[in-house]
Amino acid sequence: MDKPTKLKELQEKLAYYQAKLAGKMKRYRGVIHESAASEMKHQEVMVLRGMVDGLKQEINDLDQ
């Protein structure tokens, strides 16, 4: 896959996951201990943050 195509694909994925993370953050209040649902929501937010950070890093690496 050539560089411009890969970069465009990564930017589309980044936009998708940023929108998904923004939606999850609207009702995110942190972890309420001894609440399994709260801990699951926290884990989902942390995974999405990791994906967004990873995509940003990969885009940055391709730009250089």
Instruction: Note the pLDDT of residue 46.
Output: 96
Tokens 């801990």 -> residue: 39
Report pLDDT for 25: 93
| ∠ CA 46-48-53, rounded to 5° | 95
Q: What is the pLDDT of residues 2-60, one digit of tens each?
A: 888 999 999 999 999 999 999 999 988 888 888 898 999 999 999 999 999 999 999 99
Distances (CA, A) of 47 to 8, 18, 62, 63: 22, 12, 23, 24
User: What is this structure's pTM?
Assistant: 0.86
| pLDDT given for residue 42 in this prediction | 93
Query: Distance between alpha carbon 49 and the CA centroid of its chain, in Å?
Result: 4
